[in-house]
Amino acid sequence: MKHRLSNTFGQNKVTTEEREKLVRSVFNRVAGRYDLMNDLMSMGVHRFWKWLFCREVNKANGDAAADQTFVDLAGGTGDIAKALIDGQRKVLLLDPSEEMMAVAEKRLGSACSYIAAAAEDIPLEDESVDVLTISFGIRNTTDIAKSLEEITRVLKPGGRFYCLEFSTPYFWLRPFYDAWSRIVIPRLGAAVAGHPDAYTYLIESIREFPAQEEMAEMIRSAGLENVSYSNMTFGIACIHRGEKLK
């Protein structure tokens, strides 16, 4: 069964098309201060999560052929892509928000390529990607299952998938985490980025995201194997992995 995030924002139901426009509007509006807000929302911990994530990806794929293609899907402002660039790999950054990619291009210049595209419809050939990463982006797709199918399609046999995403915290932490996300983060969004509604959406997307085991099963259902995950900071975030064997 395909998992689709419920198309709601606040108390208003929206269509898939409206949700897609909403998501793009959110990221277009906050692009300039997105990294600052991530620092405030996570108290800087997101940088450590991403460092661990990129270290794992680079370590697992460091001895591979120099001409490999790495794709950072929903790559946003380019912090993950920056860590993947080694001067030999071909690195592609894909994101539906051109404003977010403009920030990335200022950072990275011609060190990688930039493609405006959504995870549900990746404009790459079948079996053309060696490693695909997505960091805090898959929950913002209109259809997670379809996005995973697209990821599986573009991976080469032997290709690897890595996903860093918010997840379900351990039970004892949930009341404190929920209070922080419900009360504090939208106020930070209003004070720093000027868009409390955007950060209300981001928090709702985190709450709706599949828990660890459910997400792992969705990755398997998309056709990937050797699926595993590792919790980070008591389950607040999680690294998911999969491999396309055939």
- Bridge-based pairing of strands 8-9 and 12-13 is antiparallel
* Nearest one of 152, 125, 143 to 224, comparing CA atoms: 152
**Residue 245: phi, psi to the nearest 5?**
-90, -20
- Domain 8-243: which CATH class? alpha beta
Task: Please list, in sequence order, all residues whose beta carbon lies within 8 angstroms of the beta carbon of residue 34, skipping any fewer than 6 positions away.
Answer: 27, 76, 77, 100, 103, 193
- Looking at residue 55, its pLDDT comes to 97
Q: Mind listing the pLDDT tens digit of every residue in the chain (246 residues)?
A: 334 344 444 444 556 676 666 666 666 666 666 677 677 777 789 999 999 999 999 998 876 666 899 999 999 999 999 999 988 899 999 999 898 899 999 999 999 999 999 999 999 999 999 999 999 999 989 899 999 999 999 999 999 999 999 999 999 999 998 888 888 777 776 776 666 666 677 778 888 899 999 999 999 999 999 999 999 999 999 999 999 998
Question: Counting beta carbons within 10 angstroms of the beta carbon of residue 44, is it exposed (0 to 12), middle (13 to 18) or buried (19 or more)?
Answer: exposed
Do 164 and 46 contact (CB within 8 A), yes or no? no
- Looking at residue 132, its pLDDT comes to 98
Do 162 and 131 contact (CB within 8 A), yes or no? yes
pTM above 0.85, yes or no: yes
The tally of CA atoms less than 13 A away on the side-chain side of residue 31 is: 23
**The length of the chain, given as a count of residues:** 246
Q: Where are the domains of the chain?
A: 8-243
